[in-house]
Amino acid sequence: MYECPNCGGNLKFEIPSQKLFCAYCDTRLEPEAVTKETDTLENDCFEVNVFLCPQCGGEMISGDNDATAFCSYCGAANILSARISREKRPKYIIPFKKTKEDCKKAYARRLRRAIFAPNELKDSKFIESFRGIYMPYWLYHFTQKGGISLRGQRSTQKGNYVYTDHYSITADLNAQSKGVSHDASAAFYDNISQELAPYDTQDIKPFLPCYLSGFYADVPDLSADSYLAEATEAVNRNTGRQICRHSVLKRYDVTVPTGQKALNTMLHTNCENMDSAMYPVWFLSWRNKERVAYAAVNGQTGKVAMDIPIDPKKYLLGSFLSAIPIFLLLNLFLTLRPSVLMVLCALPALIAAEIWRHELDSINLRENHVNDKGLKLSKRKRKSSATPRKEKNDEVVPLWFRLLFLCLFFAVGCPILSNFSPRLVWLPLLGIAIYICVTGLKKRQLSEDTKGGLSPVTVLTAVVFSTLAGLIRPVSDLWYYGCVILMLASVIVCIIDIIRNYNRLATYRLPQFDKKGGDNNA
């Protein structure tokens, strides 16, 4: 706690003025003019209060001694337990530039487009729960100095001939990249930190503990080497682009190697220094049992990164209301034979099953932390994913291409097959349904605690009955309409599973949930 020299009140960092402010006597002081004796005892450490959530065990540090009734990690309403600690002092900090009101406005603008979001996310009382947290980052400083050799070419046309001249180009490179940053907290998911980037390092300042007054900070738990390879790759990629855009070199169509080892050697990339820093983030968490969704706002630029779950009731109601005018419109202008209608209903069923199968891949990647290097390296990684059964996405063909293939098959393949025999249409459809069902159920086994999973079975069942009707070709249309109803019911079941899986992707199970309670740690 930083006391006001005039009245002894608590000084807080005021974002608009970028000064320490006393709400009791309206005193404003420059951060550099305020220190505590404990701040100057050691140059590499400073005294803080560590707040511990008794529900999830999450830790936040602050220069204040006021506990909060809200945990920014798990969203639980608690009185956090506290203890005094000495933490390693970061070298730099970017103070908050955006106020809480700016943050709430940016959040509200983003949420206006989320018409199916749960009502709680739009509640003004809920939005008041935004907390300012300084997240730890590592800053990498690179130099690239030395001679480089490049290959280039120029082509000219004379008459019917094209002449290509090849060049061997040598140049001296003298480049510096300072402030290449990556987050240093395993609890701060990589996809969220990447969405909030970039930060403008022109606002960076030497760290002073008083900047934390009125805010919280996460504790760094990843070493500086954790993201060195990613930072090096980013620097090499940027330098390569700058070389190709050089006013002289671009006339020779210069090419640079694509492999990182070759680039490191050619560009003489060297990491001169690695410093710690704190960057500002406004955090809001929404908790549903042991799943947490985040809304994070860049405290410097106002950029928003949100995970927005879907309310299934809202979505199904909206879909039903949208289907009524579409049904009436198609009923007025389109008349289909029952056998053709049955084939067309198979398209949305197979598309829904394919999307469900794709979501299982995404869940497997997320919950095994395949794309989150920080959690993979951290000791706080949850026990259930310590030995994942699968850590690789085996989907070589992207989802959009597979869906395009299905649409083209129905638009081109089905009419061609029906010219030979209408019965031939259902055999490939049955094969596609069996493939999606079998592979989907295998993927479901790889993801832990996946609820639902009847989607591919219901779709396959509907396709099997439709195939039998298409091959037997009964005289009564009731058989066809019964298969159509079964097919559409399978689509509804599939959509419910898709929403459930989407909400699982939009929420996280915190690694702090596997810690012991905060009271025990305190």
Q: Is the pTM of this model over 0.75?
A: yes
Let me know the angle formed at the C-alpha of 375 by 229 and 366, rounded to the nearest 5 degrees: 105
Distances (CA, A) of 450 to 181, 443, 447, 470, 504: 35, 10, 6, 34, 9
Among 359, 366, 388, 513, CA closest to 451: 359
Contact 275, 92 (CB under 8 A): yes
User: How confident is the model at residue 78, as a pLDDT?
Assistant: 66
Amino acid in position 362: S
pLDDT at 1 over 70: no
pLDDT for position 74 = 76
Distance, in Å, from the CA atom of 216 to the CA atom of 72, rounded to the nearest integer, reads 10
Composition of the chain by helix, strand, coil, percent to 5: 45, 25, 30
Positive or negative: CA dihedral 512, 516, 521, 522: positive
Whether the predicted pLDDT of 281 surpasses 60:
yes
What's the token pair of residue 520?
């025990």
d(C-alpha 417, C-alpha 395), whole Å: 29
- The stretch 182-188 carries a mean pLDDT of 84
Q: How far apart are CA 72 and CA 93, in angstroms?
A: 20
Tokens 């050691």 — which residue?
Answer: 42
* Euclidean distance between CA atoms 254 and 266, whole angstroms: 14
Q: 80-94, 137-151, 294-308, 338-352 — which is least confidently predicted?
A: 80-94
pLDDT at residue 299, as a whole number:
93
Q: Give the Cα separation of 194 and 182 in Å (integer).
A: 9
The answer to whether residue 381 scores a pLDDT higher than 60 is no
Query: Tokens standing for 422?
Result: 């209408």
**DSSP secondary structure string for all residues of 382-422:** -GGGSS-S--S----S-HHHHHHHHHHIIIIIHHHHHHH-G
pLDDT at 293: 83
pLDDT for residue 518 is more than 70: no
At residue 253, the 3 state secondary structure works out as coil
pLDDT digits (tens, 9 = 90+) for 221-272: 888 888 888 899 989 988 888 888 888 887 888 878 777 788 888 888 999 8
CA 47/CA 41 separation, integer angstroms: 9
Determine the distance from the C-alpha atom of residue 492 to the mean position of all C-alpha atoms in its chain, rounded to a whole number.
28
pLDDT in tens, 53-94: 777 777 788 777 666 666 777 777 666 777 777 778 889 999
CB 378 within 8 A of CB 521: no
Q: Which two tokens stand for residue 295?
A: 């809304």
* 3-state SS, residue 243: helix
Q: What is the mean pLDDT of residues 321-326?
A: 88
